[in-house]
Amino acid sequence: MPKAVLILSALALSFTVASLAAGQQSKTTTGPQEQPGPLGFPGVKHLTEVLMLTGEQAAAVHRIYNDYHKKEQQAQQEANKEAQANKNAGGKAPRADTKGLRDDMAKEISALLTEDQRKKFDELLSDMGKKKKKAA
pLDDT digits (tens, 9 = 90+) for 113-126: 999 999 999 999 88
Which of 9-18, 62-71, 115-124 comes out lowest in average pLDDT?
9-18
Residue 89 has pLDDT above 90, yes or no: no
CA distances for 110 relative to 63, 97, 123, angstroms: 14, 22, 12
DSSP codes joined into one string, 95-114:
PP--HHHHHHHHHHHHHHS-
Residue 69 makes CB contacts below 8 A (sequence gap 6+) with: 37, 38
Contact 57, 113 (CB under 8 A): yes
- Give the pLDDT of residue 90: 57
- Which pLDDT value is given to residue 30? 41
pLDDT at 22: 52
Which pLDDT belongs to residue 31? Answer: 42
Determine the Cα–Cα distance for residues 14 and 17; give it in Å rounded to an integer: 5
Residue type, 95: R
| Helical axes 99-112 vs 55-85, angle rounded to 10° | 170
Q: Is the pLDDT of residue 42 over 70?
A: yes
Query: Is the pLDDT assigned to residue 111 strictly greater than 90?
Result: yes
Which tops the pLDDT comparison, 39 or 104? 104
| Per-residue confidence (pLDDT) for residue 26, from 0 to 100 | 42
Contact 94, 79 (CB under 8 A): yes
Percent of all residues in the chain with a pLDDT value above 70, rounded to a whole number: 64
- Does the pLDDT at position 47 exceed 80? yes
pLDDT of residue 128: 79
Its pTM stands at 0.66
- How far, in Å, CA of 116 to CA of 57, rounded? 14
